[in-house]
Amino acid sequence: MDPDNPDCSEGSAYPAAPDSEYGWEKLFSERMYAAYSRNYGLNVRIARFHNIFGPEGTWRGGREKAPAAICRKVAEAEAGGEIEIWGDGKQTRTFLYVDECLEGVRRLMDSDFSGPVNIGSDEMVSITQLAELAMKIADKPLRIKHIEGPLGVRRSKLGQPPDPGEAGVGAKAEVQTVCGPPTPGSPSRSHRRGPLPRWRFDQAAGQTSDPGAVMKLTIVTPSYNHAHFIERTIASVLDQGYPDLEYIVVDGGSTDGTVNILSRYSADLIWTSEKDRGQSDAINKGLAQGNRRRGGLSELR
């Protein structure tokens, strides 16, 4: 990716050339939701999130994003020691604070634009710069040891859709800092619009008034030791009020109280808790369970 031109054209996304099945899954999901929108009148919004970070994000266990991983390494290193970084450290990324992401989502949901919309920053940061910033904030000078390892793609954006401003979205949030908590009083980080609006299902875009005619929906949430936010995740799904929802939570054998929370929602969702082989394994278990019960559109949260 050209560091001086982070905004790729949509032509760089299609024809697609993702570096792994993870990338293909994202593009397939976009096409699938667009198809359901055309064929069944499902009201959809498609957003592409780019390296969202903030409080309560995963910071260990192999599932964390680069900001959390780097901050953890700096925090755990002895003063004057060193941290390891995969590759030469010149690979670039863009990062967006979670409050900025929510603002972008709000604007997209309040608009009539289905997407896709990139929700992210256009400020390019190398992994080495990210590490140096974490050291500066921690006031802990450290050496950086570059080791062999996966680098990921050398670009951070799949491509620019039609100008969201033309559709009244304005979803490109302003980013005033690369890393850190919100600046007090920052207008781009204030929740000006109050709580997130509840999504209203429109009975297949007004084509029928028969609740039995709506599309069946299965949502799968993988979880492991997420007691500090799993209840809010559950509420964000159930509060949508979807008329024909099958909600499955696949827990990896949590030991932090997650199971107690899940048990309180047994009447509203299907859940299991047992050791698995990680997030992908949990997702596959949930999808298989939903497919056995009935056909339908599945979403991962």
Say which CATH number the domain at 75 has.
Answer: 3.90.25.10
SS3 assignment for 114-175:
CCCEEECCCCCEEHHHHHHHHHHHHCCCCEEEEECCCCCCCCCCCCECCCHHHHCCCCCCCC
Q: Does the residue 135 lie in any domain? A: yes
**Mean pLDDT score of the chain:** 75
**pTM of the entire predicted model:** 0.54
pLDDT digits (tens, 9 = 90+) for 188-235: 333 323 333 333 334 333 344 454 556 778 899 999 999 988 999 999
Whether residues 157 and 236 share a domain: the answer is no
Which residue range(s) make up the domain with 152?
1-179
- The structural domain count of the chain equals 2
Has residue 118 been placed in a domain? yes
Inter-residue contact 52 to 179 (CB < 8 Å):
no
Q: Mean pLDDT lowest for which of 54-68, 144-158, 257-271?
A: 144-158
Residues 2 and 111 in one domain: yes
Which of these three, 150, 179, 208, is where a domain ends?
A: 179
> Does residue 187 belong to any structural domain of this protein?
no
Is the residue at 27 inside a domain? yes
pLDDT of residue 163: 41
Beta bridge partners of 153: none
Whether residues 172 and 208 share a domain: the answer is no
Could you tell me if 78 and 207 lie in one domain?
no
Last residue of one domain, picked from the residues 179, 208, 233: 179
The answer to whether residues 273 and 147 belong to one domain is no
Residues 6 and 87 both lie in one domain: yes
Which position has the higher pLDDT, 176 or 251? Answer: 251
- 171: Cβ–Cβ under 8 A, 6 or more apart, which residues? 47, 104, 107, 108, 117, 118, 119, 164
List residues with catalytic annotation: 22
Do 153 and 204 lie in one domain? The reply is no
